[in-house]
Amino acid sequence: MTSRPGARADGLAASASGTGRPDATEYAEFYAGYVAAVPGDDLAGALRQSGLAAAVRELDPALATHAYAPGKWTVAQVVQHVIDTERIFQTRVLRIARGDRAPLPGFDQDPYVAAAAPRPLAPLADELDRLRASTVDLVASLSDADLLRTGTASGAPVSARAAAWIIAGHERHHWGVLRERYLSA
């Protein structure tokens, strides 16, 4: 249970619709940019409008090892990070939606990226497509009540719905970073 404004004693977020845009009380301020990056109020539509995998397929395979500056991730590492993060947030959606009250740990993205074996872009794009289809299926299987349920992740309250919106926004954020910093030269 949380004492955060908008939280209810029954573990449900204050909003009435599970698929609509989450209220700012449903996620930590850190994630506000990801939620804001998703247009509209249609969660399922936002998840289906994933564009990163298709865009990555169009890239020259040699760009997989390109980084825009020394010490920055390569294009392939950015895509792997999006995959890793979606898997973690997908797990958060599931556990919170099912009423798991155990606090879910955060994760440090840099060791995850460093531990992943280098991979070509095409298999990463394929995996991202399959993962996103799984995320869409998961969210579609949940009721409004499931999506409105709240839990704790990374030490902060979060609803299952907000975690799903963060997935969509996180991908959009990193596609923007790739366009602006990696592919603009």
pLDDT tens for the chain, 185 residues long, are 333 334 434 444 434 456 799 999 999 999 999 999 999 999 999 999 888 999 999 999 999 999 999 999 999 999 999 999 999 999 999 999 999 999 999 999 999 999 999 999 999 999 999 999 999 999 999 999 999 999 999 999 999 999 999 999 999 999 999 999 999 86
Other Cβ atoms closer than 10 A to 86: 21
Q: Superfamily for 24-182?
A: dinb family like domain (1.20.120.450)
Name the residue ranges covered by the structural domains of the chain.
24-182
Q: Which residues of 13-23 are buried (b: 16+ CB within 10 A; e: fewer)?
A: bbbeebbbbbb
